[in-house]
Structure 1
Amino acid sequence: MNTKILHVDPSSILFNKDEGIETCTPIFTDPKTKSYLDEASIILRSHKNCIGFPTETVYGLGASSLNDESVKSIYIAKNRPLDNPLITHVASLSQLHRKILPPSTKIPDIYLPLIKKFWPGPLTILLPVEDDTTLSRLTTAGQDTFAVRIPNHPVARALIAISDEPLAAPSANASTRPSPTLAEHVYHDLQGRIPLIIDGGPSNVGLESSVVNGLTNPPMLLRPGGISLKQIQEVGHGWEDIVTAKKTANASEPVRTPGMKYKHYSPTAKVILFVKCGNGVKAVQEALSRYPNSKIALLTGSEFEIPETLQAQFAIVDHLGSSITEMAHNLFAKLRNLDKNDMDYIFIEGVPDAGEGLALMNRLSKAAHETISNDSK
């Protein structure tokens, strides 16, 4: 299969503000962008293949969530385990009700303040699966809930609207690899496996959506992501009591959201994560001594103060970012870039596993081969 890349202009896609998220009628000022999304829509409506496309979080691998063959194409292209559920993306509330939810079904009230504040955007909610659902049960891994969100990227939302297909769309990477934030990342992993990648430039957030379950009491944060725990708590209306799910599920345990069970976000090089290591000098020196004759890269954050004499022992030294937001935005792209340079190990400075750092450390800990912690530093 030849994989084609089509470059579109996200700024040429406009939305009627009066519609809000109730409906979605994209307006195109660039005919080429409209033509390319029409081409992508034909593939999606054929229910034969999945395609790569940009979202504000990371690039997604999308196919109709209403058709088993479409959803199977995602699992095949990614080599993804079948018990790892998928998030469905819709363009509007009307599409959600018209295509998935039965007419008599209401979205639970607890979600309404979150939807008002964070949709469209990087927040995913869990809803009950009805007996007569139109959803492919492959998206839910056979469970009684499904995950859904309205993306904020103009290309993603327009594509879903004009194809009129709710899209099951995990990250567009080979399973276990770092998530893609550029079209070239998707091409690297999936060339020859999918027919088309829509290139809409870099993803802005850099981490996947946050996933919440408001069907439990108290509500639960299943996966930290683009919306922080604090932002969710500040909404109130019961969300101030939200609890955090355990980071990793057991091998035999069913999961309701992606990212809880299998190794994720990992480059080919082994990641060594440093937590609570002060300026990093002693911890890094000791770690270097354990890997002689190895090609090692160092990604620093805001606390490490590694002298030039120590930096000289690394093949590559790079700065992940000075803030958690910057580090999160850069993480996957930096990991992929270091993989191009055939590193044996990547040393990464971590951040506090709380507040804004919760989502970043979730990804780093899942990518890590080993975590080095020194509470005394």
Structure 2
Amino acid sequence: MTEVLKVNPLRPEKEVIERAAEIIRRGGIVAFPTETVYGLGANALDENAVRKVFEVKQRPADNPLIVHISRLDDLYLLASEVPEIANKLVSSFWPGPLTIVLPRSEIVPDVTTGGLWTVAIRMPSHPVARALIEASEVPIAAPSANLAGKPSPTSASHVFQDLGGKIDMILDGGEIIHGVESTVLDLTTSPPTLLRPGPVSVEELEALIGKVSLHPVVVGEPEEVLVAKSPGMKYRHYAPEAELVVIEGRPELVRRKMEEILLEKKMKGLKVGAVVTDEMADLQADVVKVVGSRKNVRKIAKNIFRVLRELDAEGVRFAVIEGIEPKGIGLAVMNRLVKAAGHRVIRV
């Protein structure tokens, strides 16, 4: 049975956090809110606990986990080398939605890193996440708290839909802030390589440290990834049951193509849906999900996983998605949408 406890997202109640921390310390699993999405937490240094996370999520064993910390000292405990560029980044972006990949220390188990020589580390800013890590007194390995391949959870109810009855506890801290997972930057390459776009944008990173390379999977190229140094690189991710197609291009051409495809699928007897911006909210489909204005991409990011789940809840079999400009956090949104659509993208 999974216990669901409400927790104040700004001032977490000490007794609630302590109950959750006790579960972590004894090798259990707790879902908790972060500023990005809900995480599925276990003691990162406990091999058996981490294996449970993989089993519950049905996650492939070579898909590494991000280790969450609350003290800077733990960065030096988990990584065997911390270059100056890492210190520069964490001074600017921690606590916050940036994950850095560094050579791992011997203390980190193979199971946590997917057998890699590197470890992905971040310090979250969400008060509940910080309080849980501090009270647990161990680093917490935490992928998104959903079944592997499904849209990431942005509320406790999403977590319960996927994992209710399979984990020990869910801390319900309400909605999250960003709605997409953290930016992941590999510091073992020169220049550093962006492995997953997120709330910390390429533009912000390059303003601080100079040139950043983009891994092909970041920009939606369907490349075979043999070794995944970050979550979100190798396997099908973020996808609802409905078949999706992303349409990119000038808005008027995108609208025309969406209308054409929706009519074609509707004629085949499918229940069809559309995921669009405010500017295209009058598009005709059985189910229309509006994620926000093109002028407010952060709002789109916050809503995107929720509406993908709602497509399934409303029985949509096929949906078109309006693409947005891949700049700033828009790059993260498009990365997730292209993956959710299985790289089915039409450019008009």
CA distance in 2, matches of 1:219, 1:69: 32
Letter in 1 for 2:334: M
CA distance in 2, matches of 1:106, 1:42: 31
Which has the greater radius of gyration? 1
Q: How does 1:32-111 map to 2 (within 5 A)?
A: 33-47=13-27, 49-97=28-76, 99-101=77-79, 107-111=82-86
Cα deviation, residue 214, structure 1: 1.9
Cα deviation, residue 251, structure 1: 5.0
Letter in 1 for 2:202: L
Cα deviation, residue 249, structure 1: 7.5
TM-score by length of 1: 0.86
The structure 2 residue matched to 1:320, chosen from 274, 288, 291, is 291
Change (3 A) 1:251 1:242: closer
CA distance in 2, matches of 1:316, 1:190: 26
Q: How does 1:1-377 map to 2 (within 5 A)?
A: 2-13=1-12, 33-47=13-27, 49-97=28-76, 99-101=77-79, 107-130=82-105, 133-235=106-208, 239-247=209-217, 253-279=226-252, 280-291=254-265, 292=267, 293-301=269-277, 304=280, 306=282, 311=284, 314-322=285-293, 323-369=296-342, 370-374=344-348
**Structure 2: segments with no counterpart, 5+ residues:** none
Cα deviation, residue 224, structure 1: 0.4
Cα deviation, residue 128, structure 1: 0.7
Letter in 1 for 2:34: T
Deviations 1:157-194 (A, max 9, x none): 11000111101100000000000000000000001110
- Say if 1:281 and 1:305, in contact at 8 Å, map to a contact too: no
Deviations 1:177-230 (A, max 9, x none): 000000000000001110110011111010000011122111111110110110
Letter in 1 for 2:288: V
Partner of 1:28: none
Letter in 2 for 1:128: P
Change (3 A) 1:249 1:289: closer
Cα deviation, residue 300, structure 1: 1.1
- Say if 1:271 and 1:368, in contact at 8 Å, map to a contact too: yes
Cα deviation, residue 250, structure 1: 5.3
Letter in 2 for 1:171: S
**Structure 1: segments with no counterpart, 5+ residues:** 14-32
CA distance in 1, matches of 2:157, 2:211: 41
Deviations 1:73-107 (A, max 9, x none): 1101100000101100001112334x535xxx552
RMSD of aligned residue pairs (Cα, Å)? 1.7
Q: How many residues align?
A: 339
CA distance in 2, matches of 1:250, 1:85: 19
Letter in 2 for 1:194: I
Cα deviation, residue 278, structure 1: 2.4
Letter in 2 for 1:256: K
- Say if 2:262 and 2:320, in contact at 8 Å, map to a contact too: no
- Say if 2:81 and 2:102, in contact at 8 Å, map to a contact too: no
Cα deviation, residue 113, structure 1: 1.6
- Say if 1:209 and 1:225, in contact at 8 Å, map to a contact too: yes
- Say if 2:197 and 2:329, in contact at 8 Å, map to a contact too: no
Q: Alignment partner of 2:195: what SS?
A: strand
Change (3 A) 1:302 1:243: farther
Counting aligned pairs with the same residue, the percent is 40
Q: Alignment partner of 2:146: what SS?
A: coil
Cα deviation, residue 46, structure 1: 0.8
TM-score by length of 2: 0.93
Q: Alignment partner of 2:176: what SS?
A: coil
Q: Which moved more, 1:144-153 or 1:252-261?
A: 252-261
Kindly report structure 1 stretches of 4+ aligned residues shifted beyond 3 Å: 248-252, 302-306
CA distance in 2, matches of 1:184, 1:264: 19
- Say if 2:81 and 2:103, in contact at 8 Å, map to a contact too: no
Cα deviation, residue 272, structure 1: 1.6
Q: Alignment partner of 2:42: what SS?
A: strand
CA distance in 2, matches of 1:249, 1:351: 19
Change (3 A) 1:249 1:349: closer
